[in-house]
Chain A
Amino acid sequence: MKGKRTPLFDLYPPGVRLTSFAGWELALHFGSIVEEHLTVRRRAGLFDVSHMAKIRVRGERAASLLQLLLTADVGRMAVGRCAYSLMCREDGGCLDDLIACRVAAEEFLVVGNAANREKDLAWFRRWSQAVGGAEVEDGTEGMAALALQGPEARSFLPRLAKGAEELPPFGCAVLDGAIVSRTGYTGEDGFELFLPPSLARQAWEEMIGRGVRPCGLGARDTLRLEAALPLYGQDLAEETNPLEAGLGRFVCFEKGDFVGSRALREVREKGPARIRIGLVLEGGGGAPAGARLHHEGREVGRLTSTGYSPCRRTFLGLGLVERGKADLDLFQVEGRGGKTLRGRRVPLPFYRRGECAGGGEAGVS
């Protein structure tokens, strides 16, 4: 199946392995997911993330529209700031998780999941008609996006992003025709660049020429899992509210009413029905996403994301379990082929910056 290709597709080095995702044909890896992962943890890697939904919201009421639709306090966001936020339905279920960047007083760039692009656009447009004074435009295919991630990301910034090293975490700026933010999805320091395709191609070639390693979606997934960053469609869904997903700190109740606030206040008062946990899977191999979690022979939850951790050299799982099981240390995990694995509860995130130092222990030469 051929999908849409990003403006950088033909610049991928030979040896790229492709995968389909949300109608796009994207790079899964360029040789080794594990090596790409470790390079991002220890040096820096470059991801083509042009498939991400990029929605421009402009106008005198742009901030009011986002204040109404997002859980973050957009009203208090200064120009040059970005915020991670949920966007919820009236019942509190998550429509998407996204990053909103205030690039000017009356202009935002909202970066959401590729799979939610049409849904997000429809939601923004529906509400913008009600609010008025805000224009919503799909900038996804007119703009490319690059994510430069890792402790050494700063030293690989392309010329057009000069000055970006001064940005604070979650800061953003318009530099030389590009929107640059100090954001990412790996748990490392890094930058994301949103820019016209021709500039993106130049920036990609410049950074690759300086020796940064190209990385694919495979490493993007293992990196975000170690950092316990949620993936929409797995850890988040319309049936999941942000409080049970462990994202309560991204919901600003103090800002007043917003879409979903009534339902979320109720959840907060009663306490969420489920809680987010992190497990190390023991007993051999991984488990499929969605695997059942048992305690004393009874199903008490599910794994929402699973995968291998190159830094911890073990399989990990993010799960949602009944609130009453919050104190358990051990779960039985339904593995593949009827196998039962032990799921040992560990604190989240699985990885913190600097905890994946080089050396022989990772077994990769």
Chain B
Amino acid sequence: MRPVYPEDLLYTREHEWLRVEDGRGRVGITHYAQEELGDVVYVELPPPGKRVTRGESLGVVESVKSVSDYYAPVTGTVREVNEEVKKHPELVNSDPYGKGWLLVLEIENEEELSSLLRAEDYRRLVE
């Protein structure tokens, strides 16, 4: 299957995606990342209210064969985490940009968004 990179998302070089929604950013890992990991069987989510700086680890995504940190695409405060993905980590594989989202960050500094990759740049990075 050819990886897909929705145009409305911003991406990091560490394979997270971010969707801007009214000053908040919904965060997940990319199709490419989930495919590299294989079957995701555990997702560690940060506590809501936690402030994180750009590049800081938010938690780990564990597959049958590997464990990877995922990182804050921008500085902000964790406002919401996906409880559903805790119970069904396989959503990260089946729907990485939809039901497999991980958390929502309240973005502190919108200027940081300009450092993230557009879909086309991210596609070139991984292909």
- Which A residues form the contact surface with B (CB < 8 A)? 17, 28-29, 32-35, 218, 222, 284-286, 307-308, 310, 315, 336-337, 363-365
Contacts and interface: CB of A to CB of B under 8 A. Distances in A.
Contacts of A35: 39
Interface string B90-102: 1000100000000
Contacts of B60: 285, 336-337
A33 B62 contact: no
A98 to B, nearest CB: 26
A336 B67 contact: yes
A285 B62 CA distance: 7
B33 interface: no
B42 interface: yes
Contacts of A286: 42, 62, 67
Given A336-B60, A364-B90, A33 B44 contact: no
B126 interface: no
B38 A33 contact: yes
Given A28-B65, A307-B64, A364-B90, A284 B41 contact: no
Interface in B10-53: 38-39, 41-42, 44
A315 B62 CA distance: 11
B88 interface: yes
Contacts of B67: 285-286, 336
Contact of B38 (A17, A284, A307, A364): A17
A284 B87 CA distance: 11
9 contacts: A33-B65, A218-B38, A218-B64, A284-B44, A285-B60, A286-B67, A308-B62, A337-B60, A363-B90
Contacts of A34: 39, 41, 64, 90
A222 B62 CA distance: 15
B65 to A, nearest CB: 6
